[in-house]
Amino acid sequence: MAAITQTRVATKRSTSAHIQRTWPKVVLWIFLAVAAVIWLVPFFIIVLTSLRSMNDLISNGVFAWPTRWVPENFTRAWNLGNFSTFFRNSLILIFTKVPLGILIASLAAYPLAKMRFRGSNIVFIFFLIGLAVPIHVTLTPLLVMMKQLGIAGTLPALIPPYVVFGLPFQIFVMRGFLRTIPSELIEAARLDGANELSVFFRIMLPLAVPALITLFIIDSLGTWNELLIALVLISSEASLTVPVGLLRFQGQWSSRYTELMAGVVISIAPILFIYIFLQRYLVSGLTAGALKE
């Protein structure tokens, strides 16, 4: 009898302990799910708006299900908003500026990671300070410089400042990554008579491919998203990048909410696509940049 009571108490205790352990988790999970849905609402709303007609929006409101799907909003926005030009310009920047910036950042990161020389720490800190320099403080002189170079208002004017504002973060991440490559590999190559340049291109860069991919993705996002420099340095319609172009489009279509939201969806679709499929690289790189170890 006593034995039975004892086991009963024991099972009771373990189930209640089990409930005690799982119950807060269930509450937490429900809370997170609700918060996630709230976080997604703006996405639902813009997609819903971009796929209905203006009449439907005016008479049925923003969260009614569309009476008819209107994908034509997208073709209208794409053609009349000139998005193909904006996309082309942003892609040109991504495929020129990003590799150039990463290359010179990697060149700088190699000695900072693997060579001992006087002043290395000072140079590294000198670059890091760039992380905190606000773009604003360079804008007026940059405009003057680009006018002197004869490229103010056009796409090439963006390359120098975009490269410079990417450098500090890229040097930091590459330095951190290159330090993890064993020095024995470099020593062995040097003994085989390789010069420093071929050590860099034949050994360091191939081993750094994961870091290079991460930096490429992060820097491409940054280039795709940048507004302020482009707003100041770009003037001709033919040279607008996606953010400035989207603003221009909004200026012209501010009361055609359906096409406007189609334009917004068009501008963020490539980013979301990259984010969802390449998230692993993106987030690991961002935290590698912020935290060490």
Partner 1 sequence: MTHRARSRIIPWLFLLPSLLWYLIFLVYPMAYSFVISLTDWDGLSKGSNWVGLANYIAVIFNDEVSRLAIKNNLLWTVGTLLIPTLMGLFLAIALDQKLPARSLFRTVFYGPAVLPLVAVGLIWAWMYNPQFGFINEVLKAIGLGHLARGWLSVFETALPATFVTAIWTGIGFSMVVYLAALQGIPAEQYEAARMDGATGPRLFWHITLPWLREAHVIVLSLAVINSFKVFDLIYTMTYGGPGRSTQVMGTWMYFNAFQYYHAGYGSAIAWVIALITLVFAVPYVRHMSRD
Q: Specify the residue, 92 or 164, whose C-beta has the smaller distance to partner 1.
A: 164
Cβ closest to partner 1, residue 11 vs residue 24? 24
Query: Which residues make Cβ contacts (< 8 Å) with residue 185, sequence separation at least 6?
Result: 203, 207
Residue 144 sits in the site that holds partner 1 (CB under 8 A): yes
Residue 10: CB minimum distance to partner 1, A:
21
Which of residues 20, 25, 68, 191 is near partner 1 by CB under 8 A?
Answer: 25
Q: Which of residues 192-211 bind partner 1 (CB under 8 A)?
A: 196, 200
Spatial CA neighbour of 206 closest among 230, 189, 192, 225: 189
- Residue 247 binds partner 1, judged by CB under 8 A: yes
Q: With CB under 8 A as the rule, give the number of residues binding partner 1.
A: 95
Under rule CB under 8 A, residue 63 binds partner 1: yes
Q: What angle do CA 219, 50, 246 make, to 5 degrees?
A: 40
Residue 221 makes contact with partner 1 by CB under 8 A: yes
- Is residue 42 at the binding interface for partner 1, with CB under 8 A as the rule? yes
Q: Among residues 70, 260, 262, 281, which is the contact residue for partner 1, using CB under 8 A?
A: 260
- The Cα–Cα gap between 102 and 108 comes to 10
261, 193 contact by CB (below 8 A)? no
* Subset of 82-141 contacting partner 1 (CB under 8 A): 104-105, 107-108, 110-112, 115, 117, 120-121, 123-141
CB 189 within 8 A of CB 202: yes
Alpha-helical (H) ranges within the chain are 2-50, 54-60, 72-80, 83-114, 120-129, 139-149, 159-179, 183-191, 196-199, 205-207, 209-225, 228-233, 242-252, 257-290
- The nearer residue to partner 1, 129 or 209, going by C-beta atoms, is 129
* DSSP-assigned letters across all residues of 119-146: THHHHHHHHHHGGG--GGGGHHHHHHHH
By beta-carbon proximity to partner 1, the closer residue of 6 and 247 is 247
Which one, 6 or 198, has the nearer CB to partner 1?
198
* Pick from 181, 117, 206: nearest CA to 198: 206
Residue 225 lies near partner 1 (rule: CB under 8 A): yes
CB of 285 to partner 1, least distance (A): 11
243 counts as binding partner 1 under rule CB under 8 A = yes
The phi-psi region of residue 150 (left if phi > 0; otherwise alpha if psi is between -120 and 50; otherwise beta) is left
| 65 is an interface residue for partner 1 by CB under 8 A | no
Applying CB under 8 A, the span of 10-18, 54-62, 65-73, 207-215 interacting with partner 1 comes to 54-62
